A and B are shown apart, each in its own frame.
Chain A
Amino acid sequence: MAQLKRVLVANRGEIAVRVIRACEALGIETVLAMSAADRDTMGAKLATRAVCIGPASSTQSYLNANLIAQAARSTHCDAIHPGYGFLSERYELAKLCEDNAIIFVGPSADSIRKVGDKLIARTMAAAAGVPIVPGSERVEDAEHAAATAANIGYPVMLKAAAGGGGRGVFVALNPAEIHTSFERASAEARAAFGDGSLYMERYIGNARHIEVQVLGDSHGNAIHLGERDCSIQRRYQKVIEEGPATILTPALRMRLHHAALSLVKHLNYRNAGTVEFLYDADRQEFFFIEMNARVQVEHPVSELITGVDIVQEQLRIAAGDALSVDQDSIKVTGHAIECRINAESPENDFMPRAGRINLWQPPQGEGIRLDSHCYSGYLVPPYYDSMIGKLLAHGVDRPAAIRRMSQALDQFRVDGIATNIEFHKAVLADDEYVAGRVNTKWLENVFLPRFQKGLH
């Protein structure tokens, strides 16, 4: 790690803390670029130095690439770690870094552009021999969409080309719905991403979201750290992630890993990344959905089952070093589950709740990990997302991991603000969840109605 002396951490919350810790472990100094609302955060205390770049509003702080780059220059940082969200997958910041001799802890600006545009990503995946969901190129208008849907076969999904996070996604079950779905999806895509372009895919009803964690360096090494099943979602947002995906047969798992690595090699991809697949549980087929060119929220699941520190590997890759591990040394051990702990009220349609945490008493014990920036007395600000921590449990197998997670959730005490801890407990105790009889719609369509009924 000859090159990295000081890294600017361009994020907040738990991931800022996570990156600072990884830097510390490698003897790298950190400068946290924070907004005025985050002066009292744990990251600000742990970083070697913290600088306030702008007011609370993220557009004037965390989302302003120029401010981030300037902060790195002024504080003599040789690299910027963007975390996830915010500017982590913006071409603009990666390019600004390249033009100003700052190392971007992420892929090249060119990779970001290719991977970020879902249509280009689909084409690249197909070129790498990775199966893609039967679907379309860009659809121009509702007429074009109707013609395309007839080819793909209903039901179909309309998705924003520039999208992510489930926004700008609409399903049309039959020809009668295609016009409305097109107009809605296009309008939402334009509002959310400033680009109304759409593409279409076959809609898979009984689907699992399965993703492969990958790492690639500038020496041509590319490895995977196994896969994660992130099917427990609400409004396309992941709620619980786990690994490995127990639904896969060993043969399918091998093919999945192989497909992910083909894409990484095809892209000459350099960074940690995630190749996301949709697994059709009825047909036992998997299809590429997209690639995320950043460290992901759920990366600790893979860290627990492989023992590899993904953020430290990112820093090594950015410094120009080779990965510290090779594929043969990676062994997946046991099963890990992650619950995203949010400051929200599941009883009130998951309304986010900001406020002062009077008591923060996290669970502890063997196989338990908590990634969080919270502490007793911390004020959860209302300006950012509501995730206040990620609770992880690791056990010898899935039942053991579920037991450990349930116990950990029982021990977790947070007073002062509403959280979804009780909600997680209810999911973990559900027979269908325990039996693994779930898909990406299960939480919303099956579990939630039951949960809400239980409330009354």
Chain B
Amino acid sequence: MAVSKEDVKSLIKIFEQSDWQEMRLEVDGLKLMVSKSGEAARVAPATLAAPVVAAPAAPAPSAPVLVAPTPLPLAGNQTVIKAPNLGSFWRQPKPGAPAYVEIGQSIDEDTTVALIEVMKLFTPVKAGIRAKIVRCLVEDGEMVEYDMPLFVVEKI
């Protein structure tokens, strides 16, 4: 697969708009590594050596571009609670109210851990697991997509 300058540009754009910290991509003759961490993002020199051809008029991507977010680093007894659908994420029933769950709190299958708002309709997200909340991964009011991890929990 010949990777054009445009492809690289759009990959970087995707990365910039994402919440990922790092992206690594390897396809024939091209290695691309970008990072948002302290180290300056760098593009491996191999990129420059790779043949750059004009993108064909008809789109014919021969292999799917990998855009899956890097998996979360989880300890053996940890798992995640995921978003049931796209919507705005809220940790409490209303502004100013205490959060449904705090870090370290024990929860069971039926515990409401957050709300997902879809066009002013608020749907509770149930934990679906007996566990302890380790970390919340999403900011209040942020848009979450379907299947996106919301909380890291530790199985009890």
A residues sitting closer than 8 Å to B (CB atoms) are 17, 33, 35-36, 39-40, 42, 44-46, 48-49, 51-55, 60-61, 64, 66-67, 69-71, 73-75, 96, 100, 362, 364, 370, 375-377
Residues of A within 8 A of B67 (CB): 39, 44-45
Quick check: A52 and B65 within 8 Å, CB to CB? no
**A-B contact list, 6 entries, CB within 8 Å:** A45-B67, A55-B146, A55-B147, A70-B119, A362-B58, A375-B59
Name B128-150 residues within 8 Å CB distance of A. Answer: 143, 145-148
Quick check: A377 and B62 within 8 Å, CB to CB? yes
Closest A-chain residue to B88, C-beta based?
A74
Tell me if B72 counts as interface (CB < 8 A to partner A). Answer: no
Most buried by B among A33, A49, A74, A377: A74
Task: Evaluate whether A45 and B61 lie within 8 angstroms (CB atoms) in the complex, with A55-B146, A69-B119 already known.
Answer: yes
Most buried by A among B13, B59, B65, B146: B146
Quick check: B119 and A96 within 8 Å, CB to CB? yes
Quick check: B87 and A70 within 8 Å, CB to CB? yes
Quick check: A42 and B147 within 8 Å, CB to CB? no
Complex: A64 Cα to B62 Cα, angstroms: 32
CB distance from A363 to the nearest CB of B (A): 11
Quick check: B62 and A54 within 8 Å, CB to CB? no
Residues of A within 8 A of B148 (CB): 52
Quick check: A75 and B143 within 8 Å, CB to CB? yes
Quick check: A53 and B85 within 8 Å, CB to CB? yes
Q: Mark B58-75, 1 if CB is under 8 A from A, else 0.
A: 111111110110000000
Quick check: A376 and B86 within 8 Å, CB to CB? no
Complex: A228 Cα to B121 Cα, angstroms: 43
Complex: A356 Cα to B146 Cα, angstroms: 24
Main secondary structure of the interface of A (DSSP, over half): mixed
Quick check: B62 and A375 within 8 Å, CB to CB? yes
Quick check: A376 and B119 within 8 Å, CB to CB? no
Choice from B58, B60, B86, B119 contacting A51 with Cβ under 8 Å: B86
Residues of B within 8 A of A46 (CB): 59
Quick check: A70 and B61 within 8 Å, CB to CB? no
CB distance from A54 to the nearest CB of B (A): 5
Tell me if B118 counts as interface (CB < 8 A to partner A). Answer: yes
Main secondary structure of the interface of B (DSSP, over half): loop
Quick check: B59 and A66 within 8 Å, CB to CB? no
Residues of B within 8 A of A364 (CB): 58
Complex: A364 Cα to B60 Cα, angstroms: 13
Complex: A17 Cα to B60 Cα, angstroms: 12
Residues of B within 8 A of A362 (CB): 58
Tell me if B17 counts as interface (CB < 8 A to partner A). Answer: yes
CB distance from A271 to the nearest CB of B (A): 23
Residues of A within 8 A of B145 (CB): 51-53
Choice from A52, A55, A96, A377 contacting B63 with Cβ under 8 Å: A377
Quick check: A67 and B118 within 8 Å, CB to CB? yes
Quick check: A42 and B86 within 8 Å, CB to CB? no
Quick check: B62 and A52 within 8 Å, CB to CB? no
Most buried by A among B59, B119, B121: B119
Quick check: A376 and B85 within 8 Å, CB to CB? no
Quick check: A36 and B146 within 8 Å, CB to CB? yes
Quick check: A53 and B86 within 8 Å, CB to CB? yes
Choice from B60, B119, B121 contacting A375 with Cβ under 8 Å: B60
- For the complex of A and B, the 5 pairs showing the least CB-CB separation, nearest first, are A74-B143, A53-B86, A52-B145, A66-B119, A52-B146
Residues of B within 8 A of A40 (CB): 64
Quick check: A377 and B64 within 8 Å, CB to CB? yes
Choice from A17, A49, A54, A370 contacting B86 with Cβ under 8 Å: A54
Name B31-87 residues within 8 Å CB distance of A. Answer: 58-65, 67-68, 85-87
Quick check: B119 and A60 within 8 Å, CB to CB? no
